């Protein structure tokens, strides 16, 4: 079994259809946790990014946004 690929915040944002600032905000709010580092850049598992995206969109619908 191979380890999940890690992506930068920029690529994570692109894959989730959001801006990189949103990825940083999800981390700040505790919706997403970095899975590693490459130099100064934080790396994320795409499955975690998609889970955070689903979670925040679900909360937005429930709250009427």
**What are the tens digits of pLDDT across the range 12-35?**
999 999 999 999 999 999 999 999
- With bands split at pLDDT 50, 70 and 90, how would you rate the model's confidence at 62? low
Mean of the pLDDT values across residues 32-58?
94
Residue 4 has what pLDDT? 74
Mean of the pLDDT values across residues 41-59?
91
- With bands split at pLDDT 50, 70 and 90, how would you rate the model's confidence at 56? confident
Instruction: Check: pTM over 0.85? Answer yes or no.
Output: no
Q: How many residues comprise the chain?
A: 65
């Amino acid at each position: 079994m191979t380890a999940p690929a890690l992506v930068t915040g920029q690529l994570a944002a692109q894959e989730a259809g959001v801006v990189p600032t949103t990825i940083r905000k999800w981390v700040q709010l505790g919706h997403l946790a970095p899975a590693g580092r490459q130099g100064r850049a934080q790396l994320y598992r795409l499955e975690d990014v998609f889970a955070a995206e689903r979670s925040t969109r679900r909360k937005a619908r429930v709250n009427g946004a």
